[in-house]
Amino acid sequence: MPSTHPRQRYLPVLALCLFWGWAWAQPAVDQQNRSTAARAVNLLSFVAVDYPEAVVGGAIRDRSLYRQLQGNVEVATSLLQALPDKPGRAQLLENLRALAQAVDKRAPVAEVRQRANTAADRFAALYQLPRSPAEPLPPAGEALALYQDRCQHCHGVRGDAPQAERKLNDPARMANLSLYDFYNVLEPTRNDAHDADVDGDLSHRERWALAVMVAGFAAPESAPALERAREYPALVGLPGAAILRPAELPSQARDALMWWRAHPQETAHLQHPLARAAGLLYLAQSAYRGGDTASAYHQVMLGLREGYAQARPQLVSRNPALAAQLDQQWQELRQSILDRAPSNEVIDKFQRLLGNVVRAREQMQPSSGSAVYAWAAVLFVAALGVGGLLWYRLRRRRR
């Protein structure tokens, strides 16, 4: 269990400081690869959302937009070719070729969207792009002054700009973009949609707050029914709320996600602490696999503190043996990251711990078939890694 003795509390902080010092001294290569991947994901996401404006019923409606989208696929392909080879890259190049062909022959919207989004998800997974913040999402209100100051004169008070390309309040369009896509548009080092004077100095937190605010312009008026949170636990919290495109979900889930992602402060309590722990462990693991050990450590500690620690008292009374095992596994995982243990050992510890967190989550809610949902949430989280929607298919088959 996390240390309760006051003096012991400083130890993790000290360890973390030392550790970050070490991590910052690491070469910035991974960081560069990730920003290349972020650029490619941005280009591909906009192929998916803009295509129906460029091509209607197999005919070109907007030639310059159509050319631009063809260009997006070309640039994404050359970015991929410049990135280090990995298992999966050849497959992704193949996906991009198929996407380019689909655009060239003006294939139906659904096909192009699906290909572009799948390619974007694979890109992100292959180069371990963190598409979700580790900290809880900030509330929209945090971005209000910034939005009024920097965005409103172009995008309108509520995203209701008169120019079509500046509108941020069209639910059909916004449902095809994830919260991460909004955040990614505001990347300070790129001047694609916005010049540096708009977003060049924004912090991660400011970008996430702006993304949440933008999501609010197209969100439904009222909150979804409470049972939606039990049906779709992976959408209430991170990483699901940041990564998923609402349009790819069944309609109830889509509407719920459109609201939840715009009101993170009102959804925090809907997520079971163990689901939060599992989400953070998932993020930590993908950061670790991507070579970002400092973030991985930070997310593990957050999962321990903000997730597991809160559910532990209840778990101890339900299943003390499992609680004891989990205490030890968290400790071992933490230590193995700090000790820079071989990465296969660390990954193994991640997976065992994640498996037991899921088991614990099931035991906390043994009634009413909710175990199915806990498993669905985890399968879903696992599916995010490959960009598939395994979870959604699973649910659909169960109906």
- Closest to 99 in 3D by CA, of 78, 72, 79: 72
Least separation, in Å, of the C-beta of 75 and ligand HEC?
14
**Shortest distance in whole angstroms from residue 59 CB to ligand HEC:** 22
Nearest approach, Cβ of residue 206 and ligand HEC (Å): 8
Q: Name the H helices within 171-290.
A: 171-174, 179-185, 196-199, 204-217, 227-231, 233-236, 240-243, 251-260, 273-289
- Residue from 185, 229, 333, 378 that binds ligand HEC (CB under 6 A)? 185
Smallest gap from Cβ 165 to ligand HEC, in A, equals: 5
Among 198, 223, 322, 341, binds ligand HEC (CB under 6 A): 198
Stretch that binds ligand HEC, among 191-199, 273-281, 290-298, 364-372 (CB under 6 A): 191-199
Phi, psi for residue 56 in degrees, rounded to 5: -125, 125
**Exposure letters 352-367 (e unless 16+ CB within 10 A, then b):** ebbebbbbbbbbbbee
Percentages of the chain per state (helix, strand, coil), in multiples of 5: 70, 0, 25
Q: How many CB atoms lie within 10 A of CB 61?
A: 12
Q: Which is nearer to ligand HEC, 105 or 153 (CB)?
A: 153
When the beta carbons of 99 and 214 are compared against ligand HEC, the nearer one is 214
Judged by CB, which is closer to ligand HEC: 119, or 213? Answer: 213
d(CA 303, CA 301): 5
151 contributes a contact to ligand HEC by CB under 6 A: yes
Q: Residue 153 Cβ, how far from ligand HEC at the closest point, in Å? A: 6
Q: Does 155 bind ligand HEC (CB under 6 A)?
A: yes
Piece of 107-115, 163-171, 369-377, 378-386 that binds ligand HEC (CB under 6 A): 163-171
Candidates 41, 43, 210, 378: give the one binding ligand HEC (CB under 6 A).
Answer: 210
Residue 205 lies near ligand HEC (rule: CB under 6 A): no
Q: Which of 66, 182, 288, 373 binds ligand HEC (CB under 6 A)?
A: 182
Q: Could you give the CA distance from residue 255 to residue 237 in angstroms, rounded to a whole number? A: 15
By CB under 6 A, how many residues form the interface with ligand HEC?
17
CB 302: neighbour CB atoms within 10 A?
A: 19
CA-closest candidate to residue 245, choices 341, 103, 389, 134: 389
Q: Does 194 interact with ligand HEC (rule: CB under 6 A)?
A: yes
According to CB under 6 A, which residues from 244 to 263 bind ligand HEC? none
Q: Which region among 29-37, 147-155, 334-342, 365-373 touches ligand HEC (by CB under 6 A)? A: 147-155
- Alpha carbon distances (Å) from 298 to 10, 16, 166, 288, 303: 15, 8, 37, 11, 9
**String of contacts with ligand HEC for each residue 107-146, x by CB under 6 A:** ----------------------------------------
Q: Which two tokens stand for residue 189?
A: 């080092």
CB of 284 to ligand HEC, least distance (A): 28
Taking the complex as a whole, how short is the minimal distance between the CB of residue 174 and ligand HEC, in angstroms?
7
Q: Are 252 and 228 in contact (CB under 8 A)?
A: yes
Residues across the chain:
399
Nearer to ligand HEC, 173 or 359 (CB): 173
Residue 283 to residue 180: CA distance in whole angstroms: 14
Contacts of 222 (CB under 8 A, 6+ apart): 259
Kindly list the residues in this chain that would bind ligand HEC in the complex (CB under 6 A): 150-151, 154-155, 165-166, 168, 173, 182, 185-186, 193-194, 198-199, 210, 214
